[in-house]
């Protein structure tokens, strides 16, 4: 698969570096660094684009400016891409109104769009758009990408004798590499330590999703939502191994 990754700063550069280090054989990742500044209205997209792009099956936008979203239809046409993924780790990068416009522009070109909010909510069939809503998509190239990068999937093996984590296999990494980083620190932890330690490791990686509180995430932030997705993946696997303590009112617990 041929991929064009667009970035404008350290946020996107880290994603590109992880993809290049961990992507399957046969993937080719080219990059384009978008301009740092744009006018309020882009009248001539060609003024901000290079003369040509290498062919690509998939375009990944890690750009930190909403104006880049306006250029994506032209970029998709120039590359021949069949799918576009826009990272929404900050709502300012793709406001909801612009997101609806972008979807319409690309649909008229028969190009699929996935705009996961946050980026690490992307799966092989859908992604988050609010705390409780997920958007489905149909695209073989986006699905292929999401098979390896997107919503973290760490498979845990628990030593039942010691109630500790004996293995942690990263079956799907976050695009930034956070899931693999967290998996490495889980080995040897007691099952009752995993949730807290994983949450701390996620923040210390560090996660670069926005800390702006959003109404459609119950006044929570995308950074916290990213952490919740990781902890939910681990928590579901650990439920059978967790001990629940009950305290009877008026008595002393043992």
Q: Give residue 47's pLDDT.
A: 81
**End-to-end alpha-carbon separation of the chain, Å?**
59
Mean pLDDT of the chain: 94
Q: Quick one: pLDDT at residue 39? A: 75
Residue 64 CA, distance from chain mean position = 14
pLDDT of residue 246: 52
Q: 41: pLDDT confidence band, cut at 50, 70 and 90? A: confident
The fold adopted by the segment(s) 2-146 is Rossmann fold (3.40.50)
Please say if the pLDDT value at position 253 is more than 70: no
**Residues 68-121: tens digit of each pLDDT:** 999 999 999 999 999 999 999 999 999 999 999 999 999 999 999 999 999 999
What's the pLDDT band for 208 if we cut at 50, 70, 90? very high
Write the pLDDT tens digit of every residue in 174-184.
Answer: 999 999 999 99
3-state SS of the chain is: CEEEEEECCHHHHHHHHHHHHHCCCCCEEEEEECCCCCCCCCCCHHHHCCCCCCCCCEEEEECCCCHHHHHHHHHHHHHCCCEEEECCCCHHHCCHHHHHHHHHHHHCCCCEEECCCCHHHCCCCEEECCCCCEEECCCHHHHHHHCCECCCEEEEEEECCCCEEEEEEEEEECCCCHHHHHHHHHCCCEHHHHHHHHHHHHHHCCCCCCCCCEHHHCCECHHHHHHHHHHHHHHHHHHHHCCCCCCCCCCCCC
* Rounded Cα distance, 55 and 2, in Å: 7
- What residue spans in the chain does CATH classification 3.40.50 cover? 2-146
């Amino acid at each position: 698969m041929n991929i064009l990754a667009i970035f404008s700063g350290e946020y996107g550069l880290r994603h590109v570096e992880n993809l290049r280090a961990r992507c399957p054989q046969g993937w080719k990742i080219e990059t384009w660094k978008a301009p740092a500044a744009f006018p309020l209205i882009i009248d001539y997209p060609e003024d901000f684009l290079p003369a040509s792009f290498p062919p690509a099956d998939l375009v990944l936008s890690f750009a930190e400016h909403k104006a880049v979203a306006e250029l994506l239809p032209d970029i998709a046409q120039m590359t021949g891409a069949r799918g576009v993924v826009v990272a929404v780790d900050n709502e300012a990068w793709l406001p909801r109104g612009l997101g609806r416009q972008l979807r319409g522009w690309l649909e008229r070109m028969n190009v699929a769009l996935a705009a996961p909010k946050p980026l690490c909510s992307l799966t092989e069939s859908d992604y988050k758009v609010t705390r409780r809503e997920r958007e489905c998509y149909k695209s073989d190239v986006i699905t292929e990408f999401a098979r390896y990068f997107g919503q973290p999937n760490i498979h845990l093996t628990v030593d039942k004798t010691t109630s500790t984590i004996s293995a942690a296999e990263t079956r799907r990494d976050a695009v930034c590499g956070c899931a693999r980083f967290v998996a490495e620190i889980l080995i040897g932890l007691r099952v009752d330590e995993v949730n807290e330690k994983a949450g701390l490791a996620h923040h210390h990686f560090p996660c670069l999703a926005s800390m702006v509180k959003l109404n459609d995430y119950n006044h929570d932030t995308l950074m916290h939502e990213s952490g919740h997705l990781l902890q939910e993946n681990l928590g579901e696997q650990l439920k059978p191994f967790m001990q629940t303590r009950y305290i009877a009112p008026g008595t002393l617990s043992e």
